[in-house]
Amino acid sequence: MAGSSADKLFDKKYTCPICENNFTAKTVRSGKTRMIRTDMDLRNVYEDIEPLKYDVILCPKCGYAALARFFPNVTNIQQKYISEKITPNFKPLQDDGDDYTYEQALTRYKIAFANAVVKMAKFSEGAYLSLKTAWIYRSYKESLDREMAGYETKYEKLEISEKENLRKAYDYFVKAVQTEEFPMCGMDEPTVDYIIAVLAMEFGDYFDSSKLLSKLITSYSASGRLKDRARDVKEELARRMKEAGVDSE
């Protein structure tokens, strides 16, 4: 992403539901972003800014962190777990500059995931957090300067981390649809099925992917746009199966 994104950000006020600390976190101004494409797994790509960097809200006092949509919602027992297991080990971050670097953003995602584990979050929250973590590794990977020293090594490391988080997202989403109700992370059933189908294809579970895509294409509740995406994925799936020598019947 070229240039600074500081002019597209503002400091939004939050109150921590764990320690009641009032603080601000950098947030993307609505209407200040321009989307240029959407990846197959629904990552939106924007011009000049990466909104994913600012999706995790972190209390600088107690270390509670979560994606913005989940941040206010904690139970009493979750509050107890975070106070006992996160706060004593938390060291405040030093975030200099007008915006977050990818490394600073990833630190926030890692802290959010630790919080999710400690508070025993729903599988869907873990899935969505893992998916967004994978996306930010991908964005970081794409932002690298090909002329930089150690480019190939850095790229490969980021790609491995991206795949690891996509795998976690896949596993968590599968568990979530078996145990939770929709909507899930603000997504309806067809959208979650679509993401699972794409991830299933990514990890070679071709028949599971094909089954979900066929279900989507004939669904009454899926949008026309999502059905079109499912058809595109179905074509890519057929290509991969052919390359792998897998019978599509």
Query: Which range of residues forms the domain containing residue 114?
Result: 6-187
Q: Is residue 46 part of a domain?
A: yes
Q: Is residue 216 part of a domain?
A: no
Q: Is residue 89 part of a domain?
A: yes
pLDDT at 2: 41
pLDDT at 151: 96
Instruction: State how far the alpha carbon of 43 is from the alpha carbons of 21, 135, 138, 198, in Å.
Output: 32, 7, 10, 12
What's the average pLDDT block by block, 10 residues per block, for the chain (249 residues)?
68 97 93 92 95 96 97 97 98 82 96 98 98 98 96 97 98 98 96 98 97 96 96 97 83
Q: Is residue 203 part of a domain?
A: no
Tell me how many domains the chain contains: 1
Q: Is residue 134 part of a domain?
A: yes
Q: Is residue 66 part of a domain?
A: yes
What are the beta bridge partners of residue 57? 66
Q: Is residue 222 part of a domain?
A: no
